[in-house]
Structure 1
Amino acid sequence: MRNIEEALADASIRDYSGLLELDATELARYAADASNGWWKRQLCALALVGRVPEDYVGDLIARVRDFGEVNEVRAALLEALADREELLPWLRDEAGKLSQASKPSVLQARGRLGDRTAVPQLVFLAASPWAHEGRLGRAGVDALVERYGLETILADIGGQSPEARIAQVRLQAAGGLDVSYALADEDRAVAYTAQALVEDVARLRAYRDEAPTDEAKLWAAYRLYQLTEDQDEARATYEELGRPRIEVPGLDEDMRRVIVREYAGCSQRRTDPRWRIELICTEAPPERDEAAEAAELNHALAALTAAGLEPQPPVSAGQHHHQGDGTYHVVTVGSGNLAVSTLGRYATEYSGDPDPAARTALETAGFQWIDADVAAIRVTDLCVYHFGHRSDLTVAELLFYWQD
């Protein structure tokens, strides 16, 4: 059998299967020794799940309770010690002093250990838009349901806040209950959660026809399309409701179609369903592939070169920022930079002081110049993730998007 350092050399957070072959006592000793590298101790702790040696329980619990412990190690140890009831008093009464980053794993552990006083915080955590936090919150709630039963935990949750209603809908659906009623919830995150959980096509059709609001009808139509891919049925509802859409003053139709094509299908849960149904029911411009994007970029470069501006070789948004990815290329012209979108023939002044002739050259070549007024138009109720926020963005942020 390989020794622990050899196994760790081949391991990663996504694959520590080699450590599962090692003796649990050796792993526990290594994880409990704070002089070892934190990421190595984290992997050892994860490899101990379901087989913590009783002789090392006290040492590992001491690491959990050490306020100086690395958050990732503490979270892994809580996974390994998920059944240790003696941890609960400290988790409930003292762990609040830990950093915010530690609280999701602590809350999950409290749920696993049967602490119903954690329900309000777990419900809020379960509704987090951050995938890791939401997963931990849901696991904590589910553990409580398994221990105490669905009705008891639903009563603990209540239904006053949107987060509580999200938890309520999820648990009801998991229990086989119909949650189509929540498509009419006033909070879009609740309605979005509900529509994703309804699987009964016949029930959705019946609900769509009797829904109390147009927005609820749209959620039903949207979910029906996800389940059936019947565009004609979605369009029938769309037409019946008068082709509803979010009006954005100043946004021209071609640009709107490009934005809908790019963002309405991957939008966040608080996006208005009118954007979602517009994507399904209206004609979108052709999808752009790398060849089409390259051709458009070369067209822009040729226009700038023909105008005698000597553009420098373009760099992608990710290359320009040395990380991430985006929907534009940066082209240096004179003493400044232009941004040329990959979503369509759109260009704008990016930074510095590019030659004013660049705008004329690109407009002559068929590119739409995004000036300050157009750039500032906010596309409302279409929520897009952008540097930690999930909200409306401006035309400039959508056409020239970058995320690290």
Structure 2
Amino acid sequence: MDDARKAQAPIKGRGAASHVDGRYAVTVAHGEDDGWGSVYEDLSDAPSPQTRVTEERARSIVSRNDSPDVGHSASVNPYRGCEHGCVYCFARPSHAYLDLSPGLDFETRLFAKTNAAELLQNELSRPSYQCVPLALGINTDSYQPIERRYRVTRSVIEVLSACSHPFSVITKNAGVVRDLDLIAPMAKRGLASIAFSVTSLDNRLSARMEPRASAPHARLKAIRTLVDAGVPVGIMVAPVIPMINDREIEHILEACRDHGATSAGYVLLRLPHELKQVWREWLQLHYPDRAEHVMSLIQQMRGGKDYDSAFGTRMRGEGPFAQLIAQRFRKAHARLGFGSMPSLDTSQFVPPRKPSPQGELFG
């Protein structure tokens, strides 16, 4: 980033502090000092950028995945962009495909796929469709704050419920409990499970890293609510960041186990593409005293680079510090008696009838 465009202060309620340029940007703005110091103006008291949502008619809704280190082969993402504003989110670079910034635009310029349920029903009714569990919200959180208004995720789950199609959700928003009326009955039939991403139990750190996600205590409460309703719940300590939240690994696992979570995993911080800039900027603004040390440890776990996307190591890293994290996690996981999530049942799936004006006469 050009020195004249570096953020001078965090923006309240937002994770990113500037409009980091996307790698496909057609035009790139550079600040030039006019002698009055305006380029270096402190914007800490400026109003927080407002969230803008565009309703879009998506062309497809089921994404396929064949990555060997991702635990699902098909997913549905009801939204593009995410208002949670998690500064570490690996999905931020996807906004570059829209010629938008993976920085502030990712959390303020959102897209709601309002025809998601219609597309999904069409997909599931295809004669060639093979039922596999669908993962909801893998790229961006399906229960981010705008779900309260748009209810796209709920409409997707209604389609899945009507045809007994198995699904899982990973979220960091306690709002998932609002759909318990749909999720709990499916979970009792082996058709649904929920995973929570828990990054920290420290409210202040959470507010800095993931400003519009549910607070840690709210996530723990939601875990207990879901478990009491018969829903299998797992957790992900994600991402693990050296010298930022790595000291909390055992405490997070203990708290989540106490609230009923039955499985647990972790993922090391990933910094693909423009996320490197977003993260480094955040680190300098919030933890300037340890920024260099944090990045040094990250690079030690990434073969000397900010990020290595190689399968097999991108989720866990390598080297002594990565091995130490893995060892600590394994010991706590075993001590607390975590198991694995139950497999979801694909045998109950009944394809929905393909929408047809003539067919509706005999419905």
Give me the TM-score of the superposition, normalised by structure 2: 0.28
Give me the TM-score of the superposition, normalised by structure 1: 0.26
| Higher percent of residues as helix | 1
Greater relative CO (CA pairs within 8 A, separation 6+)? 2
